[in-house]
Amino acid sequence: MMTTETYIKENERTSEKHKSNVFESINTLTPLVRTHLSEKHYYSSVSNNDDNTSQVRIDRQPASLAVEAAVAIIINGIHYAVLMASPHQLEYLAVGFLFSEGLIQHSHELLDWDVTQLTDTASYQPFTQESADQGLESESVEAESLEQTLQQLQDYDIYIVELILNQRCHQRIQAQKRQLAGRTGCGMCGITGLAQALPDLSSYAQDNVSNGSNKKSATPSLDSLLEMRQQVDATQHTHQLTGAVHAAATMHQQQLYLFEDVGRHNALDKLIGWQLRQKVDVDCVLMTSRLSIELVQKSIRGRIPWLVGMSAPTSTAVRVAERYGLGLAGFLRNDRVTYYSGT
């Protein structure tokens, strides 16, 4: 069985040719997989008992499990969100997430970034100081609170992604925070929340009318999709070890680019973040999951012409895809695919 450290090193070697800048900023080995002891209880397929009564067998063996980390996104000093994600390609994840949230529109709006893994009291201290300044009354209370926090969080992998955005983006964040605060009892907060969760994406629409082009995005052929799926199956190393992560993948200049994560939304955000940073256009994205409305919304914002899944889309996902000109296909299996929109 491949160890965690061996996997990380091999993954870095195979992905090295994909990197054209210094965007991958974590130089230390990042644990994506850990080994835990487990007991497998199962019935033997062959029973040797005279009464044909099956016996439960127990197999004790190590199990490779995917790491699920808490990733705190801090924008211009503002604690914005905490994502549960695979702790790899976190810069791409953060940029793609901010783009999907509508906080950035272009790669150059990101001025700087830094990723920190919290491992001990010293690494926690800079991020607890703000809370101390705002609410703690004494050093003893601060020390007690920090110790309690460390005990509470000791089972978690925690990463801080600090992003510096330009002034225009900072104003968007402040405006969104004011909207999220709402106005108590006015009856508008629910409508505001719905509008944010179910936004108007007309400005991102990909149909002929909205983009002024007579060229329609070509429907990906079954052969091309099956070939992409074969490459994804062969490249999805973390899933092969754990069976617990999703992937978002695309072909660019005849090269497969694949992004894995415990969350399918995170996997797509990583791909979109990579797309923004590398300033490339993609024709089709393949997801190893079902196609939910959130994935469709992210794809529309990212102006991705085709979104293909290995499982089914939801009805809402198809309706929104049709409205905004996104090609949608699902049930990509060994010999078939089903198109729902865009053909």
Which positions are annotated as active-site residues?
A: 186
How far is the C-alpha of 17 from the C-alpha of 15, rounded, in Å?
6
- Return phi, psi of residue 193, to 5°: -65, -40
Residue 187 tokens, joined: 């009856």
Q: Measuring CA to CA, how many Å separate 204 from each of 43, 100, 102?
A: 54, 12, 12
Cα end-to-end distance, the chain, whole Å: 44
Judge whether 298 and 100 are in contact, CB under 8 Å. Answer: yes
Q: Could you give the CA distance from residue 265 to residue 5 in angstroms, rounded to a whole number?
A: 26
Give the pair of three-digit tokens for residue 211: 């983009």
Q: Which residue do the tokens 């999220």 mark?
A: 180
Closest CA to 3 of 241, 305, 199, 329: 241
What strands lie across the sheet with 338-341, from one edge to the other? 255-261, 246-252, 284-287, 306-309, 327-330, 338-341
Q: How far is CA 275 from CA 15, 92, 182, 213, in A?
A: 15, 9, 34, 22
Measured CA to CA, the distance from residue 161 to residue 116 in angstroms comes to: 7
CA dist., res. 247 & res. 270, Å (int): 10
